[in-house]
Amino acid sequence: MNRIFALLLLAAVALAPGAFVQTAAQSQGKAERRDPIFLRFPEMAQRYWENTETNAASHKVVAVPMPRQCAFLYADSYSKGQMSEREVQQLAVSNCNRKLAELGPLGENYSIDCRCQVVISDEHYVVPRNTLPTESYGPVSIFYRDPTGNVARLNGLARYGALLGRDRSVTFSVDNPRGERVCDGTFTNDGPANGRFSMSCFGGKFGSSGSYQSKTGSPNDHIIARGHTGQGQPVSMVIGLPAQLAGGLYGGI
């Protein structure tokens, strides 16, 4: 009898995949408007929680590259017509993977493999919340001139406060691809999308300061900072674009 009941239960789950997805989502906790992931991506938050058309969708899904230090972009998808939750999840992951591929290889910034996955589905987390970022992460490239005048480049991973542009001052750090801390700095907000920066690298052997701008849209949301060293040499820092793309757009200091 127990065996027959177990078979019937398995059959019911197979016929109702949407119900299984929702149960898995609920086990990880409910998403909230002020959660760090929505503060990190305000345009996505507006669509997910406020836009009347997308907010009213039967199924709403967010996918980001994981693990957490890879989550510098996102894809949000919303059901249309009779789309199931699983179909919306597949669409979100597909769009996230496409965005990631369009930006180019990440190997010069990351020593880990970044893979897109669903993190929120129908206002519930589908991954443990402690695996998601509470700060902002992104690939970083710093272009500067060495003592001989040649252009040098430092690639790696940047970490900074999620409320850049809202908080008056936000600290940031830069790790090289091996995970070693090489730079520390501060962004000071002058407006919603601009301000000043200062940073010190390699134990104080290299420092610079200047101004920054936050850019949204294609090819991806990113920060471009430009300044000079104490010796007057130019410095550019790009956060949010892989090294090859950053070099093509901003490497010609």
pLDDT digits (tens, 9 = 90+) for 138-190: 999 999 987 788 889 999 999 997 565 566 889 999 999 999 999 999 999 89
Domain residue limits, the chain: 2-131, 136-250
3-class DSSP state for residue 52? Answer: helix
Listed residue (103, 112, 247) closest to 179, CA to CA: 112
Between 18-22, 71-75, 222-226, the lowest mean confidence (pLDDT) is in 18-22
Would you say residue 36 has pLDDT above 60?
Answer: yes
Cis bond leading into 219, ω under 30°?
Answer: yes
d(CA 33, CA 49) in angstroms, rounded, equals 7
CATH fold for the domain made of 136-250: Lipocalin (2.40.128)
Looking from the CA of 65 toward its CB, the CA atoms found within 13 Å total 23
3-class DSSP state for residue 206? Answer: strand
Phi-psi region of 55 (alpha: psi -120 to 50; beta: other; left: phi over 0): alpha
The predicted pLDDT at position 27 comes to: 61
The predicted pLDDT at position 164 comes to: 57
The two structure tokens encoding residue 133: 């970022």
d(CA 180, CA 99) in angstroms, rounded, equals 28
pTM for this prediction = 0.85
pLDDT by residue (tens digit) across 60-97? Answer: 999 999 999 999 999 999 999 999 999 999 999 999 99
3-class DSSP state for residue 113? Answer: coil
pLDDT by residue (tens digit) across 97-128? Answer: 999 999 999 999 999 999 999 999 999 999 99
**Mean local confidence (pLDDT), 36-63:** 94
Single-letter code of the amino acid located at 116: C
